[in-house]
Amino acid sequence: MSLDTVLAKIDTDLDASLDRLMGLLRLQSVSTDPAYKDEVDKAADWLVDDLKSLGVDASKRETLMHPMVVGHVGDTGPHLLFYGHYDVQPVDPVELWDHDPFAPFIEDRDGKKVIRGRGTSDDKGQLMTFMEACRAWIAVNGELPCKITFLFEGEEETGSPSLVPFMQANADELKADLALICDTGMVAPGVPSIASQLRGMLKDEFTLHGPAMDLHSGHYGGPAVNPLREISRIIASFHDDQGRVTINGFYDDVIEIGDNLIAQWKTCGFDEAEYMTGAGLTTSAGEKGYSILEQQWSRPTLEINGLWGGYQGAGSKTVIPADAHCKITCRLVGDMDPDKLRIALRKHVENQLRPDTTVTWDNDLEGAPASVMNTDRPEFELARQALSDEWNREAVFVGMGGSIPIAGHFKSVLDMDAMLIGFASEDDRIHSPNEKYDVEAFHKGMRSWARVLDALT
């Protein structure tokens, strides 16, 4: 009875819930850019206030970069920790947005309502599905059904540098029976999904140095080494013509997934053609011999995320630049060790260097291994049933191409399992211009959390 009333309350209050979400979306909490530091801080304050309005004992907790928001409520039943992040990706190239990224609005798009703006899907909209589910629950029942700790991070998009130290320093306070993470999506439209394996990540960046200064390409073109040409050659050497990474030992600790899982994935509703079409693509450029889903979920990658050097303005400048720059991320699977791979990656680059070139590395970029969830825990089946009930479709355990290191940190620092449930869609354009979140995802997301809370308690 009580669950139905909570669900009805969520339906009734949808507009008010959306209004609250808009308030959070307007705050420009870009965590990677120091210019937005005050806005990140404001978003933390906003969340503290919002938690307090739910009767949660909430506070902003300073770190060396951006604050954490922590809240506690209740003292009976299982102890759940809910994690979300309130920081967002940069908006550049801002000229590709059809509207102000921080002036969110509801758009009617072929009869489907979507919320437009930076952070709508990643992750403010998702975070608020849980908050608003709690709000409805409290409105109906006066209190939540169990002890809940809220942990909201402001550094997720910048690699979470403070997260592990913060967990370590506050382990007793944060340790719960299970962590719930809402930063993932649905494998196909209308297919509720629990992520059971996530790829890890290794980030690295190097600068290739050549001549002592920028040179004139007439006066020095020919004899002088050109860092742009050299960095291109090095990048081209990272893959063979089968799409495999050529770094020594790269695949040593990859674990081939079993036929059982492959069979499950084949029927999970993931539409390969739609996935490719959604990015304007027709043909997989990935590792030969693996399906698109395997390439995305269970195979490692090396991607160049940024590359630059020389003149980028209008017209031409006859320069041979002194330096060239490259940002890299590798996605890791199985037992791949980011520290070991960092050494192998760097050695690969250094082995390619020609005379008069040197390389320097950014030593501030982190890595995290892949995560495999403990789906044997009974909560996973309970949550799966709750999601199936809400969406009228069997919920599925899926892999994920992305990296959510937080799941690994909960395990390694707090010895706490995590369950990842989220309602984002393939076409949400997260990290891109014109990001959106479906109003349906937000609405049914709130309802899903109410059902999961009910099922777990």
Specify the DSSP element, H or E, that contains 387.
helix 378-391
In the bound complex, what is the minimum distance in angstroms from residue 430's beta carbon to its own copies? 6
In the bound complex, what is the minimum distance in angstroms from residue 75's beta carbon to its own copies? 37
* Residue number with CB closer to its own copies (20 or 299): 299
* Residue 285 CB-half CA count within 13 A: 9
> Is the Cβ–Cβ distance between 148 and 445 less than 8 Å?
no
* Residue number with CB closer to its own copies (276 or 455): 276
* Residue number with CB closer to its own copies (192 or 227): 227
* Residue number with CB closer to its own copies (17 or 196): 196
* Residue number with CB closer to its own copies (292 or 344): 292
Q: Residue 73 pairs with which residues in a beta bridge?
A: 148
> Is the Cβ–Cβ distance between 332 and 253 less than 8 Å?
no
In the bound complex, what is the minimum distance in angstroms from residue 9's beta carbon to its own copies? 34
* Residue number with CB closer to its own copies (239 or 411): 239
Largest CA distance in the chain: 83
In the bound complex, what is the minimum distance in angstroms from residue 73's beta carbon to its own copies? 32
Of 55, 300, 280, the residue nearest 200 (C-alpha):
300
Specify the DSSP element, H or E, that contains 143.
none
Of 191, 183, 121, the residue nearest 153 (C-alpha):
183
Q: Which residues 6+ apart lie within 8 Å of 206 measured at CB?
A: 325, 326, 328, 346, 349, 359, 360, 361, 362
* Residue number with CB closer to its own copies (263 or 279): 279
Q: Residue 95 to residues 91, 99, 100, 101, 114: CA-CA distances in angstroms? A: 9, 9, 10, 10, 21
* Residue number with CB closer to its own copies (142 or 218): 218
Specify the DSSP element, H or E, that contains 54.
none
DSSP character string of 21-49: HHHHHTS--BTT-GGGHHHHHHHHHHHHH
Q: Residue 11 to residues 445, 446, 450, 453: CA-CA distances in angstroms? A: 11, 9, 12, 17
- DSSP label at residue 434: T
In the bound complex, what is the minimum distance in angstroms from residue 296's beta carbon to its own copies? 5
In the bound complex, what is the minimum distance in angstroms from residue 215's beta carbon to its own copies? 6
* Residue number with CB closer to its own copies (221 or 249): 221
